[in-house]
């Protein structure tokens, strides 16, 4: 399973999806640009090989969290490049929910670390 349901109806987004959505949050991108951006954003922790990248992009598109752009929508500098992607409103909402979930977890962790000894 790629997402885990939460009691409030939200989902935990798996790591590659999180970074792909984060990559697309600031601009439309094509496949290898997403690969490079995810690698950079994750400080090398997440490496998307082509099968993983395009499988994840297809899954995210099926969820309607991203969409593939057609030729008229592709950026002007995209000559010869195919398969550009854009985050959707639902994808942005899923990313916001995941960021908020991670921030809440980080607050709990900081609180527990502050109380701990050693």
Q: Which pLDDT value is given to residue 1?
A: 36
Listed by start position, the domains of the chain span 12-115
Q: Mind listing the pLDDT tens digit of every residue in the chain (118 residues)?
A: 355 555 455 566 889 999 999 999 999 999 999 999 999 999 999 999 999 999 999 999 999 999 999 876 766 655 555 789 999 999 999 999 999 999 999 999 999 999 876 6
Cα–Cα distances in angstroms (integers) from residue 97 to residues 8, 13, 63, 103, in the given order = 11, 9, 15, 10
**CATH class of the region 12-115:** mainly alpha
Residue 85 CA to residue 102 CA, distance in Å, equals 25
Q: Which pLDDT value is given to residue 83?
A: 87
């Amino acid at each position: 399973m790629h997402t885990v349901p939460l009691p409030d109806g939200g989902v935990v987004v798996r790591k590659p999806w999180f970074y792909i959505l984060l990559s697309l949050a600031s601009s439309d991108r094509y496949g290898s640009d997403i690969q490079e951006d995810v690698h950079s954003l994750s400080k090398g922790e997440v490496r998307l090989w082509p099968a993983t990248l395009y499988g994840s992009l297809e899954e995210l598109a099926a969820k309607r969290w991203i969409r593939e752009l057609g030729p008229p929508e592709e950026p002007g500098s995209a000559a010869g490049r195919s398969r550009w992607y854009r985050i959707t409103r639902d994808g942005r909402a899923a990313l916001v929910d995941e960021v908020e979930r991670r921030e809440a977890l980080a607050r709990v962790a900081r609180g527990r670390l502050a109380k701990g000894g050693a």
